[in-house]
């Protein structure tokens, strides 16, 4: 069985023995590239999102950080999923056909299978699937749903193997809702990060959330860096206020387009400059290779799009295709034409 398959299977995490002569964490190269390349949900351009195999692929493609979105199980285990509704990204409908239910989440009625109704053992019996029907499903039903603990263990293993530090960029999903039902995300999140040695502001960690209250609570509990995610229509007027509890903002790529409605405008540095003036980093989501996600002016070239955002001064990009983002950054650094 390959190392990758061992990592992906249900059951206890498998950590290969550290080879003799491997660097300790203190000896790893700590210089991250700039702008940061963040493996958005792992490597969903190639493998089902939020799987250990996907995170590993992102690191192998050169990502500086990997990005686990976090939800929680009935018995309080953080697991990596973009949504707590599991039907969209796993085979849960086939494994537990009778467990479909309807819940009201943030004022919306949603039907499906929810992580908070399942034990970790039950979640571990599921397998991940490609979320977008426009991408290959050839790797569906191969990989288990990882716990946050397993993701952090994987990062440590990959750091030793690669000889470089690898950052972790967890996102709390629906933290207010989970608080309401007695399954708070913050405590297990900070406890597991602390257990893995992540505590200080210079640790290679960003915790992100769309929910300001969640970030304000985290700001009181940790020195780790925090990022306020913002939807395109939701940009704050007072960035200085955001800077009182966060270290950066995570914005949709359309937020920098001068003609966001048509999607063909130029990338403007204005918001980036304002955020920098307020002392905030700017990370931009989400870059995808497929032409349907690119403004028509790029003629299907995702590298050209990324370079425009790099030129606008952004500090990091979330990409489904870390290899493409790394290539764009390398070409720009070397001054090479595509």
Rounded Cα distance between 291 and 269, Å, is: 23
Binding-site string for Ca ion from residue 122 to residue 161, where x marks contact by CB under 5 A and - marks none: ----------------------------------------
Least distance (Å) between residue 22 CB and ligand G3P: 31
Least distance (Å) between residue 325 CB and ligand G3P: 14
Rounded Cα distance between 219 and 278, Å, is: 17
* Nearest by Cα to 219 from 246, 192, 193: 246
* Comparison of 37 and 229: residue with beta carbon closer to ligand G3P: 229
Q: Which residue is nearest to Ca ion (CB)?
A: 171
* Comparison of 112 and 250: residue with beta carbon closer to ligand G3P: 250
The distance between the two most distant Cα atoms of the chain, rounded to a whole number of Å, is 57
* Comparison of 183 and 284: residue with beta carbon closer to ligand G3P: 284
Q: Which residues pair with 38 in a beta bridge?
A: 65, 318
Q: Which of 48, 58, 66, 69 is close enough to bind Ca ion by CB under 5 A? A: 69
Least distance (Å) between residue 335 CB and Ca ion: 32
Contact 246, 278 (CB under 8 A): no
Q: Which does 146 bind (CB under 5 to 8 A by kind): Ca ion, ligand G3P, none?
A: none
How many chain residues are in contact with Ca ion, going by CB under 5 A? 2
Q: Which does 62 bind (CB under 5 to 8 A by kind): Ca ion, ligand G3P, none?
A: none
* Comparison of 83 and 122: residue with beta carbon closer to ligand G3P: 83
119 C-beta neighbours (distance < 10 Å), count: 13
3-class state of residue 311 by DSSP: helix
CA distances from 88 to 48, 84, 188 (A): 11, 10, 25
* Residue 37 φ/ψ, nearest 5 degrees: -105, 120
* Comparison of 96 and 287: residue with beta carbon closer to ligand G3P: 287
Least distance (Å) between residue 201 CB and ligand G3P: 20
Q: Does 320 bind Ca ion (CB under 5 A)?
A: no
Q: Which residue is nearest to ligand G3P (CB)?
A: 285
For 99, the token pair is: 């467990």
Helical ranges in the chain per DSSP H: 3-8, 52-60, 92-95, 120-124, 148-162, 175-180, 186-195, 212-221, 239-242, 270-277, 302-311, 322-334
Chain residues 157-216 in contact with Ca ion, contact rule CB under 5 A: 171
* Comparison of 49 and 122: residue with beta carbon closer to ligand G3P: 49
List residues near ligand G3P by CB under 6 A: 40, 69, 82, 171, 208, 229, 250, 285-286, 318
Least distance (Å) between residue 163 CB and ligand G3P: 27
Least distance (Å) between residue 26 CB and ligand G3P: 29
3-class state of residue 36 by DSSP: strand
* Nearest by Cα to 117 from 107, 136, 102, 138: 102
* Comparison of 51 and 96: residue with beta carbon closer to Ca ion: 51
**Site residues for Ca ion per CB under 5 A:** 69, 171
């Amino acid at each position: 069985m390959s190392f990758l398959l061992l990592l992906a299977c249900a059951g206890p995490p498998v950590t290969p023995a550290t080879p003799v002569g491997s660097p300790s964490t203190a000896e790893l190269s700590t210089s991250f590239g700039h702008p940061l390349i963040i493996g958005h949900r792992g490597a969903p351009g190639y493998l089902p999102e939020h799987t250990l195999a996907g995170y590993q692929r992102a690191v192998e493609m050169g990502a500086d950080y990997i990005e686990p979105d976090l939800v929680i199980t009935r018995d309080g285990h953080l697991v990596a999923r973009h949504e707590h509704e599991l039907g969209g990204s796993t085979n849960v409908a086939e494994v537990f056909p009778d467990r479909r239910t309807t819940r009201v989440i943030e004022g919306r009625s949603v039907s499906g299978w929810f992580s908070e109704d399942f034990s970790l053992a039950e979640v571990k019996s599921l397998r991940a699937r490609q979320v977008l029907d426009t991408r290959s499903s050839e790797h569906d039903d191969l990989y288990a749903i990882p716990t946050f603990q397993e993701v952090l263990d994987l990062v440590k293993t990959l750091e030793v193997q690669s000889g470089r530090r690898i950052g972790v960029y967890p996102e709390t999903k629906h933290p207010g809702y989970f608080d309401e039902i007695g399954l708070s995300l913050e405590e297990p999140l900070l406890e597991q990060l602390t257990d893995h040695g992540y505590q200080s502001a210079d640790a290679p960690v960003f915790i992100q959330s769309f929910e300001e209250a969640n970030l304000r609570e985290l700001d009181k509990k940790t020195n780790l860096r925090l990022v306020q995610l913002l939807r395109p229509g939701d940009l704050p007027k007072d960035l200085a206020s955001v800077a009182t509890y966060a270290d950066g903002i995570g914005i949709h790529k359309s937020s920098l387009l001068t003609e966001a409605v048509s999607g063909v405008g130029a990338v403007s540095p204005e918001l980036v400059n304002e955020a920098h003036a307020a002392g905030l980093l700017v990370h931009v989501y989400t870059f995808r290779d497929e032409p349907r996600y690119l403004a028509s002016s790029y003629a299907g070239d995702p590298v050209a799009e990324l370079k425009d955002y790099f030129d606008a001064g952004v500090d990091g990009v979330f990409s489904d295709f870390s290899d493409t983002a790394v290539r764009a950054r390398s070409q720009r650094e070397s001054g090479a034409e595509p």
